[in-house]
Amino acid sequence: MDFRFTAEQDEWREEVRAIIESLITPELEEEMQNNSDLGPGPAGKAFMRALGEKGLLGIPWEEKHGGLGRPLMDQYIFSEEIGRIGGLYTNSTAVNMVGPTITRVGTDEQQDEWIPKMLSGEVECALGYTEPGAGTDLAGLETRAVEDGDEFVINGQKMFTSAAHFSSHIWLLARTDPDAPKHRGLSVFLVPMDSPGITVRPLWRMDDGRTNEVFFDNVRIPRANQIGEPNRGWYHVAMALDFERVSLGGRYAGLLKRLNALVKYANETTANGAPLSQDPYVRGQFADLGIKLEVVRMFSYRTAWMIDQGQVPNYESSAQKIIATDLIQEIADFGVELLGMHGQLTKDSPHNRLDGELEQAYRSGIFLRFGGGANEVQRDIIARRGLGMPR
């Protein structure tokens, strides 16, 4: 076994690091200071387009789709380098989830139409899955898409539709066959957000970000915007979710940065006459979190390595999702605790510590444990798919 990167991979890392650094403008830095969760501003969008021009939005995509045709491990290395900077908006749903799905299930015409626009940053997608009555049990959703000549007519409501307020399209999962079993009557659509009949209303997150609810009132779209096989939408979406889980790998670098900042703080802060770092409780907590972070990294490499070997991860991407998302919260939790009374202060408070980042992280860390497939369900997958335990 060999756990090290090859010389080529090290070179690739240097290369993408240099590119990323060269693309960071003062305007972008200013924008990053002001909460990227609201979506990218003009500088963020320009940054995405520039990455696209360098081919860095489609690293593992096949060359015929405009990608670089490189191994997934190279995508990971890129994600780590993006994460190392922190605050950069690159979680493009179009590039990370929708595009890879279209390259597998879309017709040639659909691939020709959508892929270049996604790689250039022209098309960005919101994910339209969740509804008021359908969260974890997504297949129970009720939004309808009904054929009418050369068009589909869409009616219903989506919930928690992040990015809907700045995306060009919504990747919509809707029911096309109400008489089929619930997993077998769904199809996916790419719906332009400027279609008549769409209303977007903001929902404000407890971590200051924005998400939305989206209403569809007799929205008409061309039949060509139905992607993949009719009524196979559930399976296409499951594929896209797998891509999303894999893309969580890049969290390592951001978390390492956060942990290192906390180490520095503990070294430099005195409590009861000694550096915080010398408190045995503090040291033990740090070690546990640091070790878990290394596990996140190894689990990420494992999934990427398996895919590059042509294997299909079985339970491994679920394992990675659980470990990474639990840890995000644990680090934030310990971080606020370490900062003590000052830990509660927000980024706008002059007395805050570490820019109030931990306080914010504590609030936002809650989300990923149930979002993107609740961790309970990921554990089900490990038990059922991985260990063959019965329903």
Partner 1 sequence: MDLALTEAQEMLKNSAREFLERECPPSLVRAMEDDERGYPTHLWEQMAGLGWMGLAFPQEHGGEGGSLTDLAVLLEEMGRAMLPGPFFGTVVNVGLTILDAGSDFQIQQYIPRLASGALIGTAAMLEENAQYSQDGINMSGELSGDSLQLSGSKLFVESANTADLMLVPVRTSGSGEHGVTIALIPGTASGVSMSALESIARDRQYEVSFNSVSVPTEEILGGVGEGWPVLKRSLDRATALHCAVSVGGAQKVLEMTVEYTKQRVQFGRPIASFQSVQHDCADMVNAIDSARLATYQAIARLEDGLSADREIAMAKVLANHAYKWTTLTAQQLHGGIAFMEEYDLQMWTRRAKVAELKFGTSGPHREVFAQSMGLV
Ligand X SMILES: Cc1cc2nc3c(=O)[nH]c(=O)nc-3n(C[C@H](O)[C@H](O)[C@H](O)COP(=O)(O)OP(=O)(O)OC[C@H]3O[C@@H](n4cnc5c(N)ncnc54)[C@H](O)[C@@H]3O)c2cc1C
Residue 75 CA to residue 84 CA, distance in Å, equals: 14
CB 155 to ligand X: min, Å: 17
Q: Which two tokens stand for residue 247?
A: 């893309």
Helix (H, G, I), strand (E, B) or coil at 188: strand
CB closer to ligand X, 55 vs 371 = 371
Tell me the β-bridge partners of 212.
202
Would you say 81 or 213 has its CB closer to ligand X?
213
Query: What is the distance, to the nearest Å, from the Cα of residue 15 to the centroid of all Cα atoms in its chain?
Result: 24
Instruction: Tell me, yes or no, if 268 is annotated catalytic.
Output: no
Cβ distance to partner 1 smaller for residue 73 or 119:
73
Residue 127 touching ligand X (CB under 6 A):
yes
Does 36 bind ligand X (CB under 6 A)? Our answer is no
Closest CA to 176 of 127, 229, 100, 101: 229
Which residue's entry shows tokens 């009555």? 133
Q: Is 101 in the site for ligand X (CB under 6 A)?
A: no
Interface residues toward partner 1, by CB under 8 A: 1-6, 9, 73, 259-260, 263-264, 266-267, 275, 277-278, 282-284, 286-288, 290-291, 294-295, 298-299, 301-302, 305-306, 309, 315, 319, 322-323, 376, 378-380, 382-384, 386-391
Task: Choose between 271 and 382: whose C-beta lies nearer to partner 1.
Answer: 382
Smallest gap, in angstroms, from Cβ of residue 257 to partner 1? 13
CB 373 to ligand X: min, Å: 7
Q: Is 383 in the site for ligand X (CB under 6 A)?
A: no
Residue 270 interaction partner, one of partner 1, ligand X, none, beta carbon < 5-8 Å per kind: none
Applying the rule CB under 6 A, the residues between 172 and 211 that interact with ligand X are 205, 211
Query: What type of residue sits at position 1?
Result: M
The residue at minimum Cβ distance from ligand X is 135
CB 245, CB 320: distance < 8 Å: yes
The span from the CA of 114 to the CA of 85, in Å, is 30
Beta bridge partners of 220: 153
Residue from 89, 160, 252, 362 touching ligand X (CB under 6 A): that is 160
Task: Please say whether the dihedral angle defined by the alpha carbons of residues 131, 379, 104 and 368, taken in this order, is positive or negative.
Answer: positive
By beta-carbon proximity to ligand X, the closer residue of 101 and 352 is: 101
- Indicate the residue type of 357: E
Using the rule CB under 6 A, which residue among 79, 103, 162, 167 binds ligand X? 162
**Minimum distance of ligand X from residue 317's CB (angstroms):** 16
Phi/psi for 65 (5° steps) reads -95, 10
Which residues have a Cβ under 8 Å from the Cβ of 349 and sit 6 or more positions away? 356
- Of residues 45, 48, 88, 34, the one with CA closest to residue 355: 34
CA distance 126 to 98: 10
Please give the size of the binding site for ligand X, defined by CB under 6 A: 18
- Does position 382 bind ligand X by CB under 6 A? no
374 in contact with ligand X (CB under 6 A): yes
Among 48, 39, 43, 200, which Cα is nearest to 122's? 48
Cα–Cα separations (whole angstroms), residue 117 to 44, 121, 290 = 17, 6, 40
In 3D, which of 208, 133, 143 has the Cα closest to residue 172? 143
Name the active-site residue from 31, 131, 213, 244.
244
Among residues 172 and 259, whose Cβ is nearest to ligand X?
172
Shortest CB 205 distance to ligand X, Å: 5
- Provide the minimum distance between the beta carbon of 348 and ligand X in the complex, in angstroms, as a whole number: 21
Q: Coil, strand, or helix at residue 291? A: helix
371 binds ligand X (CB under 6 A): yes
CB of 112 to ligand X, least distance (A): 27
- Residues designated catalytic: 244
User: Which residues of this protein are in contact with ligand X, per CB under 6 A?
Assistant: 126-130, 135-136, 160-162, 205, 211, 367, 370-371, 374, 376-377
